Structure 1
Amino acid sequence: MTNFTRLTLTAASLAFALTSAAEAEDAAEWKFSGSFRTRYEVLDDQVRPNFNSNENLISIRTTLAVERRQGPLTLAAEMYDSRVTSANRRSPISTNEVNTAELVQAYAALKLDGEALGPVTLQAGRFMLNIGSRRLVAADDYRNTTNGYTGLRIDMAPAGVKTTLIYVMPQVRRPGDIDSLLDNRQYPDTENDDLVVWGGLVARPRTIGKAALEAEFFHFEEHDAPGAPTRDRDLDTFGLRVILDPAVAAWDYEIEAIGQTGAVSRGSAVNDPTLDVRAGFVHADVGYTRAGGWKPRLSAEFDYASGDKPGGRYGRFDTLLGMRRADFGPSGIYAAIGRANIITPGVRLEVTPSKRLDAFASYRAMWLASDTDSFSTTSVRDAAGGSGDFAGHQLEGRVRYWAIKDRLRLEANGLLLAKGRFLQDAPNAPQNGDTSAYLAISAITQF
C-alpha cells in the first residue's frame, strides 16, 4: 500500500466519521469552480543552450474544482489539465508545461477550537501549498502546471502567532520524456517517501512596529527511486522575514534572509561524491505608494542567491519548491532568471488605474555571484571563469485587465534581456542575437 493510499484512506475515514457526527442543522454547502486559460508565448534569441533559438508555444490549462463543507469539515478535490501545442523536440518544455488530467487536490480539512492553540485546522490528502513569501514552498500559478503535495498540514495560532506545520511528499509530475510531453500523454503523478519535505513557519503580526516577523524551517530530503536517479539532496533551509505591507501614502518594505546547509551529491551517478552545502539567499525591497489617481508604487529591490565555487563545499542556493514570477520574471519558455547564482539590484513601478486594470514595469541589472557556476537558471557556464560576471540588463512589464469582472481577464507580459559579456562569451552561450525578447498574451476565464 502506497503512502498516498494510506493518507487517502485515513482522510476518507476521518471524513466519514465527522460527517456522521455533524449536527443535523449543519446543512452541507457545495461549491463548484473552474478556469480555462490559453496563453500564446513568443521567444526570440533564446538565452538557454540546446533549445530552439526562436520559439512559439500555445499553452492551455483547464481546472475543475468541487468543495463540500458541513460544519467543521471540508472535503475538496481539484483537477488540473495542462497541455501545449506547436512544440517540437527542441522546444523548452517539460512537466512545467505538460501534466494532463491530474487530480492535484483531494483532501479533507477539519477546523477545531484549539483553546490555547487558537483555531486549529487539520488537513490530510493531496493539496496545494503557499507558505510565507512562497520562495521555498509554493503552488506556481504563472507556470502552466502547478506544484501539488501529498501529506499532512496543521494551522494554528497560539498566543496570536500564526503557525503552519507540514509533512508532505511533493507530487512527481509525469511523464518526463519528450515524446510523451509532445503528445500530451496522461500518466498519474506519484508521491513516495523518496522525496519528502517537512517543517513549517511561524508569523507574528506587528512585531517590529507595524511590520510582521516570520521564521521558517524546511527539511528537504530526496533519494534515488527506480529509474529516477537523483542528487540525493538532504537540505536544511531556514529563514527570517520582516515585512510591512504596502499601504496608500505610506512606505513599505520587505527583508528576507535564508540560509541553507546539508549535503548533496556532485551528480546523479551512484559513485558521485557527497558535498557539504553552505548556501544563502537575501531579498530586500523598499517602496512608497502615492495616494490618489493610479496609486503608483515605486520600489527599489535587491536579490542575492549564492553560486557554487571551487572547493570541497557546494554553494549554489536551492529554492526547493518556490516560485520565481513575483521576483524575477516569467517562467514558461523564458525561465532564464531564478533564485540561484545571481546578484541583482532593480527598480519597479506598479500602478492600479482601476479595480479592473493593473500594470507594472521593472528593470534589473544582473551579475553572477560566482563566475565559475552557471548563471541563474540559464545553464550557461564558464567553468574557468574567463567570461566575466556581468550577465546583462532585464526590462519587463505586465498589464492585466478584467474584460468581464471576475469572469474573464486578459494579460500581456513583455520582456527584453540585453545580454552582457557573460551571456555572449561563455563557451556554451547560444550564438544568436544580443537581446532576447519574450512576449506572452493570455486569457483566463473563471467560473
Structure 2
Amino acid sequence: MKRFSFATLLLVATPVYAEDGLTLSANTRLRYETIEGQPRAGFNESDDLFNIRTIVTGEYRTGRLRLGAELYDSRVYGGDAGTPITTGEVNTLELVQAYVGYDLPDAFGTGTKLGLQAGRFTLNLGSRRLVAADDYRNTTNGYTGVRADLGLPNDLSATLIYTLPQVRLPDNRPDIVDNRVKFDRENFDLVLWGGLVTGKLAGKRGAVELSYFHLGERDSPKLATRDRSLDTVGLRVYRDPAAGRADFESETIYQTGSVRASLAPTAARLDVSAWFAHLEAGYSFKHPWSPRVAIEFDYASGDGRGGKFTRFDTLFGMRRADLAPAGLYNAVGRANIVAAGLRVEATPSKRLDAFAAYRPLWLASRYDSFSATGVRDVSGNSGRFAGHQFEARVRYWLIPKRLRLEWNGLLLAKGRFLHDAPNAPPGRSTIYNSVNATISF
C-alpha cells in the first residue's frame, strides 16, 4: 500500500454562522471496500481499496446575492495494476463549485420567482437519472455555465441550464494512481444544455415532469471522443411516499442523435435510437419504523445488429439509488439491462435506516456488452440472463450530525451469460462489501 499521511484524512473546517451570512462546513468520508469474484472484464478477480473523500463548502449570502465555493479532495490507496481506479475514484484538490447566485422574487408577477446561478456548480435535476452529482462514488460531477430556476403560477416550475461539464483530470492511469493534482477542464468540446418543467398534481404529493437535454461532444487536441450528438427527452410521473399511502413513479426516456462507431476520426457516424424506462410502485406502512415495500422495473436498451446505435447513454446520471453501488463493483448501470426488483426500506429511529433489495438481471440485447461489465458475446450464443443480485445497506449516526457509519453489501449470483460469454471473468458469484465512516464538521 502506498504511504500517506493522516494529515490528508481530515481537512477540517468548523461551522461558522456569521452575522454577514457566511456559512462554512466540511466532511470527510473514509471507505474500505472489498470484492471477490469481480464481474467486470480485465480487472483483478479479488481486490480491496481504501477511499478518502473530503468536501469543504462555503457560502456567503447578502440580501438576494449568493457567493459559494466547494472544494473536493478525492483519493484512493492500496490499488495495484489490476485494480479499477479511474477519475471516478480520484480527483484531488478540485474546486468543483465556485459560483454567484441572485434571486428575484415576483420576477414574472406576484408569487413568482427567478433564481440565477453562474460559474461552477453541481446539479441534481429531476430523477437524477440523466443529470446528477453522484454521492456514493468517490468523485462527483461538476458543471460550468449558467442555471435558471423559475417558480411560476399554477404550481408550475422549471429549471434551464447551459453548461460545460467538467472533465476530471488527470486522466492517465499513472497520475490517477499517484493521486496527482491537476485541475479539471471545461471547454466547448463538451456541452450540455436543456432543462425540465414540472407541474404539481392534485394533493401536491405528485407531479408530472417533462425534460429535454442536448449533449454535444467533439474531438479536441488532447482527447479523442465518439463525437456524441444526443437529444434526450423524458416524461416522468410520480407520487411521493407517505405513511399509510401508496406511491408510484413512471419515467420513460427516448434518445436520438448520432455517434461515431469508434474513437477513430474516420469512423462511420451512426444514427442513435435508444430508450430507457423505470416503473415503480410502493406502499409505506403506518408504523414507528416507517417500513416501505416497493416493486421496481428498469429497462435500458442495448446495441444490436442493425444499422443504428441503440445502446442507451445515461449522460451524467447517478446509479446507486436505482441499481447498484459504484466503487470496485460498478458493474450494473443504465445501459443494456432489464432488471425487475423488490425493495424493502425501514427507518427504526432517527439514527438508523436500512434497505434490502433483490433484482434478477438480463441483457436487453444479447449481442452487446452487459451493462457496465465489458463482458460481451457478439454471437449472442451466451443468452440473456446475467444473474441474481442481492444488496443491502445500513446507516447509523454514532454521533448525531457528526459521525455516521455505513455498511453496503452485495451478492451477485452469476447467470448463464456471465458464465459462458467468451471474456467472462471466472467464478460463480461476486461478493462486494464497503464500510464507511463520514465525519462532519
- The AA in structure 1 aligned to 2:322 is D
> Which of residues 53, 56, 62 in structure 2 aligns to 1:64?
56
**Normalised by the size of structure 2, how large is the TM-score?**
0.94
Spell out the pairing of 1:19-418 with structure 2 (5 A cutoff). 28-113=20-105, 114-116=107-109, 118-159=112-153, 160-206=155-201, 210-418=205-413
8 A Cα contact 1:162 1:202, kept in partner: yes
- The AA in structure 1 aligned to 2:108 is E
Distance 2:87 2:204 in 1: 43
Shift in Å at residue 407 of structure 1? Answer: 1.0
- The AA in structure 2 aligned to 1:316 is R
Distance 2:108 2:335 in 1: 42
- Bigger drift between 113-122 and 184-193 goes to 113-122
Shift in Å at residue 365 of structure 1? Answer: 0.4
Distance 2:92 2:418 in 1: 35
Shift in Å at residue 210 of structure 1? Answer: 4.8
Q: Could you say if the C-alpha distance between residues 64 and 209 of structure 1 is closer, same or farther in structure 2, counting changes exceeding 3 Å?
A: closer
Distance 1:209 1:169 in 2: 34
| Corresponding residue SS for 2:321 | helix
Distance 2:430 2:203 in 1: 42
Shift in Å at residue 207 of structure 1? Answer: 5.3
Distance 1:417 1:291 in 2: 33
- The AA in structure 1 aligned to 2:340 is P
8 A Cα contact 1:343 1:369, kept in partner: yes
Deviation sequence 1:200-223 (CA, Å, 0-9, x none):
011111159852100000000100
Distance 2:47 2:62 in 1: 49
| Corresponding residue SS for 2:330 | coil
| Corresponding residue SS for 2:176 | helix
Distance 2:230 2:150 in 1: 26
Shift in Å at residue 293 of structure 1? Answer: 2.8
Distance 1:249 1:74 in 2: 40
Query: Hey, what does 1:426 align to over in structure 2?
Result: 421
Shift in Å at residue 182 of structure 1? Answer: 1.1
Distance 2:19 2:341 in 1: 52
Deviation sequence 1:130-169 (CA, Å, 0-9, x none):
0000000000000000000000000011213110000000
Shift in Å at residue 292 of structure 1? Answer: 1.5
Q: Kindly tell me the number of residue pairs found equivalent between the two proteins.
A: 421
8 A Cα contact 1:27 1:70, kept in partner: no
Deviation sequence 1:53-76 (CA, Å, 0-9, x none):
101000000111111100000000
8 A Cα contact 1:143 1:331, kept in partner: yes
Q: Could you say if the C-alpha distance between residues 56 and 106 of structure 1 is closer, same or farther in structure 2, counting changes exceeding 3 Å?
A: same
Deviation sequence 1:96-136 (CA, Å, 0-9, x none):
00000000000000001213381111000000000000000
| Corresponding residue SS for 1:314 | coil
8 A Cα contact 1:151 1:167, kept in partner: yes
8 A Cα contact 1:207 1:213, kept in partner: no
Q: Could you say if the C-alpha distance between residues 282 and 208 of structure 1 is closer, same or farther in structure 2, counting changes exceeding 3 Å?
A: farther
Distance 1:54 1:93 in 2: 14
| Corresponding residue SS for 1:179 | helix
- The AA in structure 2 aligned to 1:182 is V
Distance 1:153 1:190 in 2: 19
| Corresponding residue SS for 1:212 | strand
Give unmatched runs, 5+ long, in structure 1: 1-25
- The AA in structure 1 aligned to 2:358 is Y
Query: Hey, what does 1:445 align to over in structure 2?
Result: 439
Identity %: 55
Deviation sequence 1:397-436 (CA, Å, 0-9, x none):
00000111111100000000000000011011112x2000
- The AA in structure 2 aligned to 1:406 is K
8 A Cα contact 1:89 1:178, kept in partner: no
| Corresponding residue SS for 2:85 | coil
- Bigger drift between 109-118 and 164-173 goes to 109-118
Shift in Å at residue 181 of structure 1? Answer: 1.0
- Bigger drift between 174-183 and 355-364 goes to 174-183
Shift in Å at residue 28 of structure 1? Answer: 2.3
| Corresponding residue SS for 2:201 | strand
Distance 2:122 2:288 in 1: 36
Q: Could you say if the C-alpha distance between residues 293 and 27 of structure 1 is closer, same or farther in structure 2, counting changes exceeding 3 Å?
A: closer
Shift in Å at residue 89 of structure 1? Answer: 1.8
| Corresponding residue SS for 2:417 | helix
Distance 1:436 1:287 in 2: 29
